[in-house]
Amino acid sequence: MTEKEKMLAGLLYDPCINLLANERLYAQDICFQLNQLSPLAENQRQHLFKKLLGKTGQQFTIMPGFQCDYGYNIEIGENFFANFNCIMLDAAKISFGDNVLVAPNCGFYTSGHPIDSQTRNSGLEFAKPITVGNNVWIGGNVIVLPNVTIGDNSVIAAGSIVDRDIPSNVVAMGSPCRVHKTLKEY
């Protein structure tokens, strides 16, 4: 099994091999180009995002300051909006449903490091997916950690650290993020 296959399977892998390092450089270069574009260069911005990301809807907006590791592991649905300074560490898949709003300074981190210091110091890491459902609003300065699913129609309050699954139709908040109240279905 290659290091990339291990990465995509959620196993410990070495991120420093040439293939993965080159893929990250490619994504960093596209992110650099995106973040240097004039706000008026919308067609060029959309073209570069479609080149970078694994899947996009027809209508989406990602504001400048966007950074990612690989890009091809990110899937965004229709009417996706990410405000300024969004970071997606996408060694594993990050999937967003339709009508998702992401406020400024949010991070989605699929990568993690072993707790055992000897293994961690060897340079190995792991990646677990993040899934965000439809009609989700994520407030400013939210961090979503590996292996988390956020259900449809939920709201994650600003400043939260999401370290476990959040069900559909709730408002969740805090560090660690927990359900605060259930939303009535419409």
Active site amino acids: 113
Cis before residue 176, ω within 30 degrees of 0? Answer: yes
> Any alpha helices (H) in 37-158, and if so which ranges?
42-52, 117-121
Which of helix, strand or coil describes residue 43?
helix
Which of helix, strand or coil describes residue 55?
strand
| Residues 112 and 128 sit within 8 Å (Cβ to Cβ) | yes
CA–CA separation, 102 vs 81, rounded Å?
6
User: How far from chain centre, in Å, is Cα 73?
Assistant: 9
Cα angle: 27, vertex 83, 57; to 5 degrees: 65
